[in-house]
C-alpha cells in the first residue's frame, strides 16, 4: 500500500500520458511511422536507463551496451519465432526472459571485466560489443534462423502500445525503487570513490556486478521489445555507434538522473528522426558530424558530466 502511495504521482502522470497516447493511436492522429517512433523512444529510454545505472550511477564506463541490447533482441526473436508465440502475456514473459538472458551473460562477463577501472573497462566493454557484433554477424552458422549478416527476418509484431508502455513503466518504477534504496546509494559511493566504499564495508565487487547485471537486464528487455516492434533485426543495429547513442543520452540527460534520461531519450530520438524527415538524405550524413561536436562541447563545458543534484532517499 505504502508503495502505491509513494509512487502515486508517477503512476497518475503515466496513466494520463498513456490515455493521451491511446486516444491519438486509436483515432489515427499519428501516422504509423510516428507511432512506431514513439514506441521506439520508450524502448530506447529503458535501455539508456540501464546504461545510466551502470555508468551514470555506478561509474562503470561501458562502450558495449548495444551488445546486450542486441543479445536480448536476438534471443527473444528466436524464441517467439521458434515457438510461434503470438499472445501478449507470453510475450511479456519472453521480454523478461530475454532481459534475464542478457543479465546472465553480463554476470558471466562482469565477474572478470569489472576488475578493470576507467579506460581499461571502456576498452574491454568496447571489445565485448565488437565480439557480440561479430558473433551476430556469423550467427547463421550456428543457428540458421538468426540470419547472420543477412539479418533476422519475419519476427512477429508484438510490441504494441500497451505492452511497450506498461512493461517499460514497470521497469522504470522498479529501477527507481532500487536507486532510492541502499543499493542505489552504494552505487553512487562506488562512483565517487571505490576505495572509500570498501572502507565502509561495501562489497564493491558484488555491488558493481549488481549494477552491471541489472543495467544489462534492462538493455536485454528493451532489445526484446525492439525486435518485435520493427520485426527485422540486423547486426549493424547493435554496433558501436548504437552504444554511443546510449552514452550520449546518459550524458546529455545527466549522469544519475532518471528523469533526465527519459527527457534526453525523447529529445534524442525525435531530433534524429526529425532530421531524417527534414533533411534530404545527402545532408543526413551530417548528423554524425554534428553529434560528436555536441559531445565534445558538453565535455569541455562540464567535464564531470551534466549532473543533476537530487536528494536521495
Partner 1 sequence: METLSYILQQLINGIQLGAVYALIALGYTMVYGILRMINFAHGDVFMLGAFFGYYLITKLSLPVYLVFLLAMIGTALTAFTIEKIAYRPLRKKSAPNISLLITAVGVSLFIEYFFSLKILFSPDYIAFPRPFEVESYDLKFFVITNIHILIFIATFLSLIGLYFLIYKTRQGKAMRALALDAEMAKLVGIDTERIISFTFMLGGALAGLGGILYAIAYPQINVFMGVMPGIKSFIAAVLGGIGIIHGAVLGGFIIGISEVFVSAFLSSTLRDGFIFLILFIFLLLRPNGLFGKRIEKV
Partner 2 sequence: MKILEIKNITKNFGGIKAVSNVSFDVKKGEILSIIGPNGAGKTTIFNLITGFYIPDDGKIIFKGIDITKIPTYKRINLGIGRTFQNLRLFKSMSIFENVLSASLVKSEYNLLSSITRNKNFYLKKSEAEHKTRKLLEFFSLDKKESYPAISLPYGEQRKLEIARALALDPELLLVDEPAAGMNPSEVIDLIDIFHKIQETFKTTIIIIEHHMDFVMNISKRIIVVDFGEKIMEGTPEEVKNDKRVIEAYLGEEFISA
Which among 32-40, 193-201, 267-275, 287-295 is the span making contact with partner 2, rule CB under 8 A?
Answer: 193-201
The CB-of-221 to partner 1 minimum distance in angstroms stands at 25
The residue from 74, 91, 183, 212 that contacts partner 2 (CB under 8 A) is 183
Question: By the criterion CB under 8 A, which residues form the site for partner 1?
Answer: 61, 63, 112-113, 115-116, 118-120, 122-124, 126-128, 130-131, 134-135, 137-138, 195, 240-241, 244, 247, 251, 282, 285-286, 288-289, 291-293, 295-296, 299-300, 303-305
Q: For residue 14, state whether it binds partner 2 (rule: CB under 8 A).
A: no
Applying the rule CB under 8 A, the residues between 209 and 248 that interact with partner 2 are 210
Given candidates 196, 283, 286, 299, which one binds partner 2 under the rule CB under 8 A? 196
Nearer to partner 1, 18 or 240 (CB): 240
Contacts to partner 2 from residues 292-311, by CB under 8 A: 307, 311
By a kind-dependent CB cut-off of 5 to 8 A, residue 2 interacts, out of partner 1, partner 2, none, with partner 2
Q: Give DSSP secondary structure letters for the chain.
A: -HHHHHTHHHHHHHHHHHHHHHHHHHTT-S-HHHHHHHHHHHHHHHHHHHHIIIIIIT----S-HHHHHHHHHHHHHHHHHHTT---HHHHHHHHHHHHHHHHHHHHHHHHHHTTS-HHHHHHHHHHHHHHHHHHHHTHHHH-GGG-GGG-B--------HHHHHHHHHHHHHHHHHHHTSHHHHHHHHHHH-HHHHHHTT--HHHHHHHHHHHHHHHHHHHHHHHHHHHS-B-GGGGSHHHHHHHHHHHHHH-TT-HHHHHHHHHHHHHHHHHHHHHS-HHHHTTHHHHHHHHHHHHHHH-TT---------
10 makes contact with partner 2 (CB under 8 A): no
Q: Given the complex with partner 1, which of 129 and 220 has the nearer CB atom? A: 129
Residue closer to partner 1, measured from CB, 97 or 298: 298
195 binds partner 2 (CB under 8 A): yes
Amino acid at each position: 500500500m505504502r508503495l502505491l502511495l509513494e509512487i502515486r504521482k508517477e503512476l497518475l502522470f503515466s496513466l494520463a500520458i498513456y490515455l493521451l497516447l491511446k486516444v491519438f493511436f486509436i483515432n489515427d492522429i499519428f501516422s504509423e511511422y510516428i507511432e512506431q517512433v514513439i514506441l521506439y523512444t520508450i524502448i530506447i529510454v529503458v535501455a539508456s536507463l540501464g546504461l545510466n545505472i551502470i555508468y551514470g550511477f555506478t561509474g562503470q564506463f561501458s562502450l558495449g551496451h548495444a551488445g546486450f541490447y542486441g543479445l536480448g533482441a536476438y534471443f527473444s526473436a528466436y524464441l517467439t519465432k521458434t515457438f510461434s508465440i503470438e499472445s501478449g502475456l507470453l510475450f511479456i514473459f519472453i521480454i523478461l526472459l530475454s532481459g534475464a538472458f542478457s543479465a546472465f551473460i553480463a554476470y558471466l562477463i562482469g565477474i572478470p571485466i569489472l576488475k578493470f577501472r576507467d579506460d581499461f573497462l571502456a576498452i574491454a566493454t568496447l571489445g565485448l560489443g565488437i565480439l557480440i557484433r561479430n558473433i551476430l554477424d556469423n550467427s547463421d552458422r550456428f543457428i540458421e534462423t538468426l540470419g547472420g549478416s543477412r539479418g533476422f527476418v519475419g519476427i512477429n509484431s508484438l510490441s504494441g502500445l500497451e505492452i511497450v508502455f506498461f512493461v517499460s513503466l514497470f521497469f522504470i518504477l522498479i529501477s527507481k525503487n532500487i536507486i532510492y534504496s541502499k543499493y542505489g546509494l552504494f552505487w553512487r559511493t562506488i562512483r565517487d570513490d571505490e576505495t572509500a566504499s570498501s572502507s565502509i564495508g561495501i562489497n564493491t565487487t558484488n555491488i558493481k556486478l549488481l549494477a552491471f547485471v541489472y543495467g544489462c537486464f534492462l538493455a536485454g528487455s528493451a532489445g526484446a521489445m525492439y525486435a518485435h516492434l520493427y520485426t527485422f533485426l540486423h547486426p549493424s543495429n547493435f554496433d558501436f555507434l548504437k552504444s554511443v547513442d546510449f552514452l550520449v543520452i546518459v550524458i546529455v540527460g545527466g549522469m544519475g538522473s532518471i528523469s533526465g534520461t527519459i527527457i534526453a531519450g525523447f529529445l534524442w530520438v525525435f531530433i534524429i528522426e526529425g532530421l531524417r524527415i527534414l533533411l534530404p538524405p545527402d545532408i543526413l550524413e551530417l548528423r554524425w558530424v554534428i553529434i560528436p561536436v555536441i559531445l565534445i562541447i558538453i565535455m569541455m563545458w562540464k567535464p564531470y558530466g551534466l549532473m543533476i543534484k537530487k536528494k536521495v532517499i
